Structure 1
Amino acid sequence: MRPVDLAREHALSTQAVRNYEDLGALPRAERTDTGYRRYTDLHAQALKTFLALRAGYGHQPAIDLMRSANRNDRTALYTRLDELHAASLHERRTHAEVTSVLESLGSTPLPRHPSEPVTVGQLAHRLGIHPATLRQWENAGIIQPPRDHTTGYRTYGSTDIRDAHLALYLRKADISVQQIATFVRELRQAGNTDRMLTLLTDWSTRLSARSRSAVNGIAHLDHYLTELEHARSGRS
C-alpha cells in the first residue's frame, strides 16, 4: 500500500500518515528502490489503532502507547496505560468532589457576614496553594477579601473561604479562572449553583464518552499487539 491508500481510508493527508510513522505511531515502512514507502496490512492496523487510542486518550498519549508497542517495550506500554487510567480515575474523583461541594453549597444559604476571618497565609496553607494564587483569584473577582482597617492586610471571611475552596476544586477540573469568576458571581447573585451543576453534568458526559472511546482504543490495541506478535514470529 502507498501512503495515499492509508490516508484516503481515514480522510487524512498523506503527509499526516508519514508524520505518524516518523513519530513512531506506525512501524517503519520498507522502501522501494526509488525511495517510496510501502505499507502493509500491519501498518493499516497500526493506523486504526492509533486513531482509536487518540480518541480515548489524546494525541500524545496515543503516540506514546503506539511507539512503545512498535518498539516491543511492553513495560513502557503498560506503565503508560496505568498512568493514563490513574489520571482518569483522579479526574472522576475530582468530579465527585466538586459535585459534592456544589450540592452542599446549593443547600446552604450564603452567609451575610464573614465569620472567623483568616489571613492570606492561613487560607493558602489550608488550601495547599501559594498565596499568589489567592491574589490571582482576587484579581479575577473570584474572592473579594476586605482589608483590616488597622493593619491593611486582607482578611478572608466565610464567603471568601467558601469561594476559594470552590475555585480550588474547579481548577482541578481545568475550568478557567474566567469561568470560575462568572460562576461565583452568579452564585452570589442568585444564591444557588444551578449553572455550575449544569457544567458538571456536561463534564460527566465528556468523561463517559472519553472512557467509552478508551475502551474501544484498548480493543484495537489488543488486536494490534497480537498482529505484532505474529509478524515478529514470522507468522501471517
Structure 2
Amino acid sequence: MADRVADEPVATRLRPADLAREHGLSPQAVRNYERDGFLPPAERTPTGYRIYTAVHAAALRTFLAHVRAYGHATAGEIMNAVHDGRLDDALTAIDHGHGRLLRDRETLAAVRSALDHLRDAGSPPPAAGVLPRSIGELAHRLGLTPATLRTWEAAGILAPARDPATGYRVFRADDVRDAELAHLLRRGGYRLDAIATVVEQVRTAGGTTALTAALTDWQARLTAHGLAMLDAAAHLGRYLNPA
C-alpha cells in the first residue's frame, strides 16, 4: 500500500482539506483517521505538511463505506488489518458482520412467524386493568405451575417486579400479557429462546399491533444494512485492486 502512495504523480497529491471536503468532514478528522491507521501513512513535505494522494482518497471512501455497513469500530478494525497486510483478519471481521446480519434476519423471520401464529390462534386481549398478581395467582390463571413461570423468568420471557416489603414477585398488567403470549406460543411448540425474543419485541413495541408495524421498519433497516455491506465490499474491492 505504501508503494502505491509513493508512485502517485505530483499532480494528484492532495491536502487534508481536499479529502475532507468530499465527505463533509474536517481536515482534522482526516488526520485523525490516518493517525488511527484507517488511511495509509502520508508522506510529508520538507516543512512537515502531509501529502495525500488518490490512494488516501480511496481509503477514506472505503473506510466510511464500512462505517455505514459495520459501524466505526469494525470499520477501523478492517482498515487496520488491510494496511497491516492482514487481509484474512479483515475478511474475518467482514464475515462476522454478515453473520450478525443473517442472525438478525432469522430473528425477524421467527418473530413474524410467531406473530402469524398468534393471529391464527387468536392473540390474547390486552391485560390493561388487570390487578397485580402473585406468582401463584398467575399460574392458576394460566393453568400452569409456579415453577414453570420461574423457568420462563430465567429464560428472559418474564420480568416481574418485586414487592419491596416482602421480596415476592408481583405480576402487573404487562407481565400478565407477556405470560399469556408465552403460554400461547409454548402451546404452538415454540422454544423458550424464540418466545423470549418475541415477547421482548412485543414489550418494546407496546403490543402485537405496534409490533406488526415495527417489523416493517425492521425489515427496511435490514435491507439497508445489507445494501450498505454490498457497497462497502465494492469499495474494498476497488481499493485492493485499483487496476
TM-score when scaled to structure 2? 0.71
**2:223 aligned to 204, 208, 211, which one?**
208
Instruction: Give the whole-Å Cα distance in 2 for the aligned partners of 1:49 and 1:171.
Output: 39
Contact 1:140 1:181 in 2 (8 A): no
Q: 1:91 to 1:157 in 2, by over 3 A?
A: closer
Contact 1:3 1:17 in 2 (8 A): yes
Q: Residue 206 of structure 2 corresponds to which residue in structure 1?
A: 183
Instruction: Give the whole-Å Cα distance in 1 for the aligned partners of 2:82 and 2:173.
Output: 48
Q: Runs of 5+ in structure 1 lacking a partner?
A: 146-155, 185-192, 231-236
Contact 2:160 2:171 in 1 (8 A): yes
Q: CA deviation at 1:171?
A: 7.8
Matched, 1:3 2:16: yes
Q: CA deviation at 1:40?
A: 1.0
RMSD: 3.2
Matched, 1:12 2:25: yes
Aligned residues: 201
Q: After the TM superposition, which residues 1-236 of structure 1 pair with which residues of structure 2 at under 5 Å, given as runs?
A: 1-111=14-124, 113-119=141-147, 120-125=149-154, 127=155, 129=156, 134-135=159-160, 142-144=174-176, 158-159=180-181, 161=183, 168-170=196-198, 180=203, 183-184=206-207, 193-227=208-242
Q: CA deviation at 1:115?
A: 2.2
Q: Runs of 5+ in structure 2 lacking a partner?
A: 1-13, 126-140, 163-169, 186-191
Instruction: Give the whole-Å Cα distance in 2 for the aligned partners of 1:141 and 1:61.
Output: 41
Instruction: Give the whole-Å Cα distance in 2 for the aligned partners of 1:38 and 1:94.
Output: 47
Query: 1:169-218: CA deviations, max 9, x gaps?
Result: 1587xx6xxx825523xxxxxxxx33211100110001001111110110
Q: Residue 234 of structure 1 corresponds to which residue in structure 2?
A: none
Instruction: Give the whole-Å Cα distance in 1 for the aligned partners of 2:29 and 2:108.
Output: 35
Identity value in percent: 34
Greater radius of gyration (CA): 2
Give the counterpart letter for 1:219 in structure 2.
A
Query: 1:15-69: CA deviations, max 9, x gaps?
Result: 1111111221101111222222111110000001111111222221111111111
TM-score when scaled to structure 1? 0.73
Q: 1:118 to 1:17 in 2, by over 3 A?
A: same
Q: 1:117 to 1:166 in 2, by over 3 A?
A: farther
